Amino acid sequence: KAGVTQTPRYLIKTRGQQVTLSCSPISGHRSVSWYQQTPGQGLQFLFEYFSETQRNKGNFPGRFSGRQFSNSRSEMNVSTLELGDSALYLCASSFGQGTYEQYFGPGTRLTVT
């Protein structure tokens, strides 16, 4: 089985712009979660989608949003980018709702200048 794929792998944006990141889960997995990884804050949970519905949300501002499509692929959007949004964004998929066992993608490295 192919693993979790994320596109693009690297992205450079300017402060104030918006960005969309994409994640394709492992075939058959219906849950997709997103995490932000920074040197200062470490790994932080953003949100989880299951069957096209957001089921769980971390403590991030409303500028961070996401959605899931009927084929379980997910996108994450960040509007009005700030310098502090520079991070590695990781997507993880699991078979069912919740996080019994999550499989992570390689991440998208976002740099905001």
Q: Specify the 3-state DSSP secondary structure of 84.
A: helix
Provide, rounded to whole angstroms, the least separation between the CB of residue 108 and another protein: 10
- Specify the residue, 42 or 62, whose C-beta has the smaller distance to another protein: 42
Site residues (vs another protein, CB under 8 A): 4, 33, 35, 42-45, 47-48, 55-56, 58, 90, 92, 96-107
Which CB, 35 or 81, lies closer to another protein?
Answer: 35
- Exposed, middle or buried: residue 67 (CB in 10 Å: 0-12, 13-18, 19+)? middle
DSSP notation for 40-66: TTEEEEEEEEETTEEEEE-S--TTEEE
CA distance 1 to 59: 33
Smallest separation, CB 74 to another protein (Å): 14
Q: Give the nearer residue to another protein in terms of CB position, either 56 or 79.
A: 56
